[in-house]
Amino acid sequence: MKYHDTHFHLDLMSNPIDIVNQIEKSKVYTIAVTNSPKVYFYTENITKNTKYIRPALGLHPELVGERHQEIDKFISLLSKTKYIGEIGLDNYNKSPVDYKRQVQVFEKIISECTNFSDKVLTVHSRKAENDLLDIFGKSFPGKVILHWYSGSIKNLEIAVSRGYYFSINYQMTKSKNGQKIIDSIPINQILLETDGPFTSLGSKKFTPLMVDSILDKICHLKKDYNSDKLKNVILNNFYDLIQN
């Protein structure tokens, strides 16, 4: 099984073209998320001849306040890719006006994505898990990946029951809350993410070439499972995600 990274900000790296070449050489399946429709074009262009990288169409919740007018462009681009992200909600230290606009934009995105059956969404949910789950509802037809989930176990269990995946990064494996969350996720719903360049290993920004360190940490935390078997399950989850 090949490694994967379901949440990587390629366009925000200092050397994106070099990283593209490294990912292709190392054969790491990578979802390159973007923060706005305008950025999507750049990522699409530098990855158009790649085998292992897929650009994702995004509108980051923390940028909705200044870029909400891009929602029409976002919707017009939906047919260009099955990968959507980074999208979602963020209610950490946000004003009521900002958060209300986020909700409106996210509702529009999910409504439009419901018209397709094959979308793979990588979703931000900080301090907004209740609203996010309500907006998705019980029968969203696409695949949902909750990126860097930090909410309650109760909401986690709801997401698990709906078949959502959870992408785990290195920082999650180091915190007590992250470890509690990882312990609560069934192994067949775990995926890997770096969220580079927003995460680091020492002084080195995470890239998809470093996901093996995340997988090793997950195996260390999930001590009740055989390490080789667990690695195989987690790596195979990505194939289930994109093929089913």
Q: Per the annotation, does 240 bind a ligand? A: no
Q: Per the annotation, does 60 bind a ligand? A: no
Q: Per the annotation, does 212 bind a ligand? A: no
- Calpha distance 138→210 (Å, rounded): 35
**Cα–Cα–Cα angle for 147, 54, 151, rounded to 5 degrees:** 5
Q: Cβ distance 54 to 32 under 8 Å?
A: yes
Q: Per the annotation, does 9 bind a ligand? A: yes
Q: Per the annotation, does 216 bind a ligand? A: no
Instruction: Let me know how long the chain is.
Output: 244
- Calpha distance 170→161 (Å, rounded): 25
Burial 142-160 (b: 16+ CB within 10 A, else e): bbbbbbbbbbeeebbebbb
Task: Please report, in range form, the residues annotated as the binding site for a divalent metal cation.
Answer: 7, 9, 86, 124, 147, 195
Task: Please report, in range form, the residues annotated as the binding site.
Answer: 7, 9, 86, 124, 147, 195
